[in-house]
Structure 1
Amino acid sequence: MDEPIDQVVSYHLRDGLALIGLNRPTKRNAINDRLAEALHSAVEAAQVEAKAAVIYGEGAHFCAGLDLSEHVEKSLIAAVHGSRRWHKIFDGIERGCIPFVVALKGAVVGGGFELAAAAHVRVAEESAFFALPEGTRGIFVGGGGSVRVSRLIGAQRMTDMMLTGRSVSPVQMEQWGGVSYVVPDGEALAKAIELAQVAAQNAPMSNYAILNALPRIRDMSSEDGLFVESLMSALTSATPEAAERLRDFLEKRTAKLTAPKD
């Protein structure tokens, strides 16, 4: 598949990478039910067709969050179902089969920040801004932010953002742990693609273990986490690809590690 998905999400395959674009630029890529389902279709396709994926926003912004014009019309139970649907879609990103990198620019607000938090690596342009204005709008996060965002930046910082509606710069967000890389304006997508290409070269079993074991170990007791670590370490080492890569390293057929360029 290499075409728009319901017009509100673009999907392209490039050298083993899936490029997924949120495509409602006139709405700052706000997420309504239609976009959420299109994103779900794109994520599912990427898990089958690609080795890594990049999510970005078309236009000037990554995502301004929940489309409030649609949300305000929902019944109480419909709002609950909508939130649970977001949880399932975003969980498919965080705990899927392949790494996801997000390229962030402009607004990374509310549900947009929740979506970014579900990815594995976050790249932000210098002029991007992060906000969780739900408290000022009389609502609460519903896309997993109370778990993912709070674990990225800490519950107290998230509380501050929600109570005050403040905007946070990418430099500050990087210091808080919410952003992995800060790049000049116009360079986030290229950097995200570069990082996704690196991750795509890893052994599939290693990537699967990183994506699925680490968040579960985080939720376990220390002793349980160490036990699961031992199992995953043994399982990944037992694959034929691991054996080949280890032999290549021992026989000096692989490049030496060098200092990264941020």
Structure 2
Amino acid sequence: MSDEVLVDVDGGVAVITINRPQARNAVNGAVARGVAAVLDEMEGRGDVFAYVLTGAGGTFCAGMDLKGFLSGDLPYIEGRGFAGLVEAPPKKPIVAAVEGYALAGGFELALACDLVVASEQAVFGLPEPRRGLVAAAGGAARLPRRIPYHIAMEIALTGDHFPATRLREVGLVNHVTPPGEALPRALELAGRIAANAPLAVAATKRVIVESADWSREEMFARQQEIITPVFGSQDAMEGAAAFAEKRAPRWKGE
């Protein structure tokens, strides 16, 4: 595992930390490979039910390492895209814990997550046009699907910085915290997700993500294909039994 990507598992939650504080956690090839390797391992582990993605040293991620880009050290993984994540987010839910800058690819990493917790001092932006580039790691494509069109255009075309409080207003950030509290709040949120039945959580995420492209006519049939195994699972029986017996459920992921 790369020293530039750290992982810590506790209570069913894997915290993935981009560990390049000297470069404001800008993503290079080593980070992309490290994130991909972590996700390959964690997706197959039965004791991990949710993720938190964060950055070391008070910054989430300042985007692509431009010095690496100039030298040919590209931060992409085939089939996974930027940072080994944006084109193939994990099946298990992932929460972004944002302190400091989430710029360019850093903002796009947050957009690839399912929930976003940010410090009130966090700053988001897509400055690619100011560098002669395009926010091609999900910024231009995902942003208008998450927030109103005209606001997405302002963010994407001006390259300006926007505070977490503004993005909370438009629905892109779930929770805004005092400085230094984004990670604890994200961990609490991920822990609440991880406490639920893993098959049900994974199926719910899949329906929400995939249904964006479903027509009204096919919506329920497509959903049924995904949820039928959940309703026939041992965990579904366990959930009903735990409710009837007034006790905490004991999930098996089966």
* TM-score between the two structures when normalised by the length of structure 1: 0.85
Partner of 1:259: none
Q: Does 1:22 align with 2:18?
A: yes
Kindly provide the amino acid, as one letter, of the partner of residue 221 in structure 2: F
Deviation (angstroms), 1:131: 0.5
Q: CA deviation at 1:12?
A: 1.5
Q: Whose helix proportion is higher, 1 or 2?
A: 1
Q: Alpha-carbon deviation of 1:240? A: 1.2
Residue 216 of structure 2: aligned partner: 222
**Structure-2 residue corresponding to 1:72:** 70
TM-score (norm 2): 0.88
Match of 2:111 among 94, 104, 117: 117
- Residue 158 of structure 1, CA deviation: 2.3
- Give the equivalent residue in structure 2 for 1:86: 82
CA deviations over 1:154-189 (Å, ceiling 9, x no partner): 443222112212211111101212111111111111
SS in 1 for 2:91: coil
For 2:83 and 2:52, the matched residues in 1 are separated by: 19
Q: Following the alignment from structure 1 to structure 2, what is the Cα–Cα distance between the partners of residues 41 and 83?
A: 13
RMSD (Å), alpha carbons: 2.4
1:43 partnered with 2:27: no
Q: 1:43 and 1:155 mapped to 2: Cα distance? A: 32
Asked if the contact 1:64–1:109 (Cα under 8 Å) also holds between the matched residues in 2, the reply is yes
Q: Is 1:177–2:175 an aligned residue pair?
A: no
41, 57, 65: which is aligned to 2:55? 57
Q: Which secondary structure state, in structure 2, belongs to the residue aligned with residue 92 of structure 1?
A: coil
| Unaligned ranges ≥5, structure 2 | 250-254
1:231 aligns with 2:229: no
Moved more, 63-72 or 24-33: 63-72
Q: Equivalences for 1:97-112 in 2 at 5 Å?
A: 97-112=91-106
Q: Does 1:186 align with 2:157?
A: no
Separation in structure 1 between the aligned mates of residue 151 and residue 139 of structure 2, nearest angstrom = 12
Gaps of 5+ in 1: 256-262
**Percent identity between the aligned chains?**
32
Find out whether 1:205 has 2:203 as its counterpart: no
Deviations 1:186-217 (A, max 9, x none): 11111111111111111121111122222111
Count of residues paired in the alignment: 247
The answer to whether residue 8 in structure 2 is matched with residue 8 in structure 1 is no
Matches of 1:210 and 1:147, distance apart in 2: 23
